[in-house]
Structure 1
Amino acid sequence: MLLRNLDPSNGLCNGKRFIYRGFYKNIIHAKITSQYATNQVFIQRIQLSPPENEGKPFKFIQNKIPIHLRFEITINKAQGQKVPNIGLYLSQHVLSHGKLYVALSRGIFMVEKKY
């Protein structure tokens, strides 16, 4: 998941989810999973520094790739588990209603479900 707005016109904005295709030293190759689903993107490192250095004689700078890694499991492996946050990526139709029920009922909090 992306943590910064890098290029909103091409779908690279905060909170965007990806399927990662390759990890390299300074770049990540990924495919966007929403309306820009055909786009293959390369996310590079950016410079990050604190907003204020509070009178320090030096400046802190970090080079990071602005992503937060999320993990995935299959619906069958999720059966019997409870997790606080879930997100579904269904690239194909679910074969049975039971699997869909398992996928939708794994979250602990049922406050915000979007179908």
Structure 2
Amino acid sequence: MRNLDAPRLCSGTRLRVTELRRHIVKATILTGEAKGDNVLIPRIPIIPNNLPFNFKRLQFPLKVAFSMTINKSQSQTLKVAGLHLDMPCFSHGQLYVAGSRVSKAKNLHVYAEGKKSLNIIYKSILQ
């Protein structure tokens, strides 16, 4: 992964891919100060330096995501979100963070086995 044009194209920037070509990706920026801008992302050479031999490969500096972790969603505002809670949250406040990413309750969709999930609470704080 590479930061191409900080702060426009850097880690955490979400894009909508509008066109895929052999050597370039056309996309629209969905978050940040450059929201709405159209960008062209070229394939770039990646040369690993932690191996005993040398090679070069061309790849797009993108990470495809159809989902994100609760921690990665912090400070994000989403129009619609779905929570897949097949396992309970493992950290204090994690369920709150996940549920508070959308501005309207009707846009939050939750899947939990048995329609329940545990929320980790420090009971000593409440006493």
Structure 1 length-normalised TM: 0.60
Identical-residue share of aligned pairs (%): 24
Q: 1:20 to 1:89 in 2, by over 3 A?
A: farther
What residue number does 2:66 align with?
71
Secondary structure of 2:84's aligned partner: coil
Instruction: Give the counterpart of 2:2 among 4, 17, 27.
Output: 4
What are the equivalent positions in structure 2 for 1:84-103 lying under 5 Å apart?
A: 85=69, 89-90=78-79, 103=81
d(CA) in 1 for partners of 2:31, 2:14: 8
Deviations 1:42-80 (A, max 9, x none): 0001111112443x4xx21111001111237xxxxxxxx
Q: Any gaps of 5 or more consecutive residues in structure 2?
A: 102-127
State the partner residue of 2:21.
24
Structure with more of its chain in strand, by fraction:
2
Corresponding residue of 2:44: 46
Q: How many corresponding residue pairs?
A: 86
Q: Distance in 1 between matches of 2:29 and 2:22?
A: 20
Task: Output the CA distance in 1 between the equivalents of 2:65 and 2:6.
Answer: 21
Counterpart in 2 of 1:37?
35
Q: CA deviation at 1:16?
A: 1.3
Say which one has the larger Rg.
2
Distance in 1, matches of 2:78 and 2:59, equals 27
